[in-house]
């Protein structure tokens, strides 16, 4: 009974702690008698007690490392602070474990030196406008340099570029002057467009006014011509009616008397009547002869 108890105790103390379960996206680096033996992937594994040792537990997920701002000097001797973000992934747990001491510190130092080399070949304006070029160059250099460490650099992003305070003030003044220049140009263009539209409106107004006056004069002249034509037509029709009526001397004499009566009914203060009433008859005779000649 004691032997069985001791056996179970030994199994619990020695065997169970040496049973390992490797989770997903993890890798265990196993050493046997101080030398690299193998790399365990996810699943159940058993190591030999007192002989095997787990040297390192490595995460195979993508790692994001935000490094502190680094002082760099541009080609035109401007010192600025630049901080970067590196996205990398461990692809070989053995190389990552035995390739370099303190891999994260090595990546940080490598990133700082690479950034200084790249920025040293660029001027201030190029540095501020060439982030994509800086990112791609750094990614290529870091990926090649960290390959012996079992690390693959997927992306490198320049997070912040902080120039000196005097440079920032000069840039702000330049940006303010540029905005004012654009505002002046826009204001001048607006005033010019407004003047053009106002002139075009006045021109169209004058043209419409002239066309209206012309149409008014044409209509007035047309109306006067039609009125005159109507008057002449009425006079012609009156003469035709007189001809068709075949008036004689007695009718003309009667019309003459009626005319004298109408004259007498007027407002004239003086009325001259021929002494010889035959003149009236003679006047009627003349009219009668005129109508006969026209026939």
- CA atoms of 114 and 280, how far apart (whole Å): 136
Q: pTM of this prediction? A: 0.56
How many domains, the chain? 3
Based on the domain organization, do 76 and 103 belong to the same domain?
A: yes
pLDDT tens digits, 97-131: 998 889 989 999 999 999 999 998 888 888 888 88
Least confident of 30-39, 52-61, 198-207: 198-207
- CA atoms of 125 and 200, how far apart (whole Å): 46
**Residue 269: inside a domain:** yes
Q: Helix 249-264 vs helix 278-294: angle between axes, to the nearest 10 degrees?
A: 130
- CA atoms of 175 and 177, how far apart (whole Å): 5
What pLDDT, on the 0 to 100 scale, is given for residue 97?
A: 92
Handedness of CA 103, 107, 112, 117 (dihedral sign): positive
Which of these three, 114, 148, 163, is where a domain ends? 163
Largest CA distance in the chain: 188
Which of these three, 59, 75, 104, is where a domain ends? 59
**Residue 80: inside a domain:** yes
Strand partners, 70: 82
Mean pLDDT, rounded, of the chain: 81
Which of these three, 108, 130, 163, is where a domain ends? 163
Q: Count of alpha carbons within 13 Å of 226, Cβ hemisphere only?
A: 6
**Could you tell me the residue range of the domain that residue 34 belongs to?**
2-59
Based on the domain organization, do 22 and 47 belong to the same domain?
A: yes
């Amino acid at each position: 009974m004691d032997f069985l108890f001791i056996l179970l105790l030994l199994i619990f103390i020695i065997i169970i702690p040496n049973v390992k379960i490797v989770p997903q996206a993890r890798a265990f680096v196993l050493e046997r008698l101080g030398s690299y033996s193998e790399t365990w992937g996810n699943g159940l594994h058993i190591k030999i007690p007192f002989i095997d040792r787990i040297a390192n537990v490595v995460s195979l997920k993508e790692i994001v490392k935000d490094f502190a701002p680094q002082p760099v000097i541009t080609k035109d001797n401007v010192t600025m602070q630049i901080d970067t973000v590196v996205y990398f992934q461990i692809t070989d747990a053995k190389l990552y474990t035995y390739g370099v001491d303190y891999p994260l510190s090595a990546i940080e130092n490598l990133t700082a030196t690479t950034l200084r080399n790249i920025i040293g070949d660029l001027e201030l304006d190029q540095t501020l406008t060439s982030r994509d070029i800086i990112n791609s160059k750094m990614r290529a250099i870091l990926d090649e340099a960290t390959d012996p460490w079992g690390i693959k650099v997927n992306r490198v992003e320049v997070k912040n570029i902080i120039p000196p305070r005097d440079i920032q003030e000069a840039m702000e003044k330049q940006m303010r002057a540029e905005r004012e220049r654009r505002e002046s140009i826009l204001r001048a263009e607006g005033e010019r467009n407004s003047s053009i539209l106002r002139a075009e409106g006045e021109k169209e107004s004058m043209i419409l006014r002239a066309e209206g006056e012309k149409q008014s004069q044409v209509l007035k002249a047309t109306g006067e011509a039609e009125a005159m034509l109507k008057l002449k037509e009425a006079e012609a029709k009156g003469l035709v009616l007189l001809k068709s009526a075949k008036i004689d001397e007695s009718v003309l004499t009667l019309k003459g008397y009626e005319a004298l009566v109408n004259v007498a009914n007027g407002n004239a203060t003086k009325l001259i009547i021929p002494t010889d009433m035959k003149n009236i008859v003679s006047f009627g005779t003349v009219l009668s002869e005129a109508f006969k000649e026209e026939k």
